[in-house]
Amino acid sequence: MQQQNIPISSLVDMYKSGGLRLPEIQRHYVWRSTRVRDLLDSLYRGYPSGSILMWETDEPVPTRDGAIAQDTTAFAGRKLLLDGQQRITSLTAVLNGEPVRVRGRQRPIDILFNLEHREGPPTEVTDVEGDQDFPMTPGDEESDESEEVGVGEAAVAERFKDSTFVVASRALQSQPQWVSVSEVFRTASDSTILKKSGVVSFDDPRFQKYSERLNRLRQIARYQYVVHVLERSMNYQEVTEIFVRVNSLGAKLRSSDLALAQMTSRWPNLLKELEAFQEECEQSWFTIDQGQLVRAVVVFATHQCLFHTVGKTPISDLKQGWAEAKEGLRFAINFLRSNAGIEDETLLSSPMFIHVLAAISRKKDNRLSQAEQNSLLHWLLVANARGHFSRGSSETVLNEDLAIVFRSGQVSALLDPLKRQFGRLHIEPDDLANRGANSPLFSLAYLALKAGGAKDWFSGLGLSLTHQGKLHFIQWHHIFPKSLLKERRYETGEINEIANMAFISGQTNRRISNKEPSEYLAGIVADQGQQALDSQLVPTDPALLQMDKYREFLRVRRVLLAQRMNEFIQENSGMA
């Protein structure tokens, strides 16, 4: 194995020119902008940034498109990137100012650099981020690291004054000391950037400092990665095994990514089939993670969900499993949307539900009696709201459900594990105490209010996660404004409780801002009628809408919400 030191600028050029390609075993680009920000900060400070693994080969290995468009070249595919895709893609996007393509949509990665950053080690704590998206935009929650409702530009600038890099926001872009990293790399001369920052003379004391910092920023392109290059004599299956081992030891990839790598080494162009099915699902507003498609193949090929047998499972079985999986998943999406009112995957507390629904579809050959439909919907709504796959090992729980389906096909029997797991299946008011947007109950609250006719408080549009236009995207809104509750020293769990949430559009949310409920709710009733509040189960007793009665308001609304959630489950499972 060869070892080379290659500067970032050369790696970016190799990637962009098509001389460095992604093998089919690689996963999608998944980094968030905050990860790119942290990478730049580490490189700027001269911190270690890992190594890169390539394979140079003349084999006709299946490749995949990267998140950034690449040029075509006669040497395309000669060098394949096995480890380092996220870093090189991110750096290509930032240094060249190009958007990345994620889930069929292009988005820029715009990072700002602070010419006035403090010297010395970083003061920020690096957050470990989860991968689960929220069912809707957070509204009056902080949705960007620097854009907050009701917070002025001066306050934002003060908050981030010591930071070196941040994800771009309108508030900071308007500040003269913040410059786009991509603009710095596009511009060889500092004069334009310095002029924008207010430095118009060599005598300005900031001239030397800013110039040195811009030069230091550009030095990132000269950072040399240690690049390990595997020998040409290795074959694709051997390289796949190395890929799996490297990423297993480093815990960089999920088990589904490693299973996919083992499958594609024996099943060329599988990735294209998975991506084509993902596109089909997107037509119905459902995004199914590639890892879940891999799991679906395993489920139907082996009747269990663990990946450890993939390497030994015959390709013929995997291909048959994929054919069954596609039909089952189509049923699952249709059942979720049409029967349960679950418009997209973000309303599920776990993606594991799609496998149980898909298994039912194939086991019953899409012939479910009315009683079976009711039982399946009852199980789905309760299991989703109670976090069925969030307790203990989700794979163990899923395997128990799959065993019931594949062995007996009795839909009603799926309720037995739920009863053992939770004791009771109905929702009590106390279940909602201190439970917020991360709780599985949050989605049930949305579904129940939507089914009850809840509408936006200004436009009158019914609730939907598929509305067109950014102004109409549904957000959750704090009925008692978060900022006012913080001033009165309420606990975070109380402030962000489901019982303090209503579901309205982003435009309406901004119009309300941080007004007291006693001030703005009366106007909503005057314009939209009492039903506007009743459908969202907002108590209208004036005494409960005073700031000092917040805890009493929560207690009353918990009762109303729990009652409506239980009614919704009963109505949709033939129990009403």
pLDDT, tens digit, 9 for 90 and up, residues 483-539: 899 999 999 999 999 999 998 876 766 777 778 999 999 999 999 999 999 999 999
Residue 511 has what pLDDT?
A: 74
Q: What is the reported pLDDT for 361?
A: 96
Q: Where are the domains of the chain?
A: 2-105+222-237, 111-121+129-201, 254-425, 431-572
Contact 303, 401 (CB under 8 A): no
pLDDT tens digits, 241-271? 888 777 665 444 567 877 888 898 889 889 8
Q: How far apart are CA 89 and CA 107, in angstroms?
A: 13
* Predicted local confidence at residue 124, as pLDDT: 58
For the stretch 411-419, contacts whose Cβ atoms lie closer than 8 Å and that sit 24 or more positions apart, written own/partner, are 411/360, 411/364, 411/368, 411/372, 411/375, 411/376, 411/379, 412/371, 412/372, 412/375, 414/356, 414/375, 414/376, 414/379, 414/383, 415/375, 415/378, 415/379, 415/382, 418/379, 418/382, 418/383, 418/386, 418/388
Amino acid at 574: G
SS3 call for 275: helix
Cβ atoms < 10 Å from Cβ of 130: 7
This prediction's pTM:
0.65
- Residue 486: what pLDDT? 92
Give one DSSP letter per residue of 289-354, joined into a string: -HHHHHHHHHHHHHSS--STTGGGS-HHHHHHHHHHHHHHHHHHHHIIIIIS---SGGGSS-TTHH
Indicate the class that CATH gives domain 2-105+222-237.
alpha beta
Q: How far apart are CA 178 and CA 114, in angstroms?
A: 5
The low-confidence residues of the chain, meaning pLDDT below 70, are 73-77, 103-104, 123-156, 247-254, 466-474, 506, 508-509, 575-576
Report the C-alpha gap between 85 and 53 in whole angstroms.
9
> CA 389, CA 237: separation in Å to the nearest integer?
34
Q: What pLDDT is stored for residue 468 in this prediction?
A: 44
Q: Report residue 413 as tokens.
A: 């029997």
Neighbours of 512 (CB within 10 A): 24
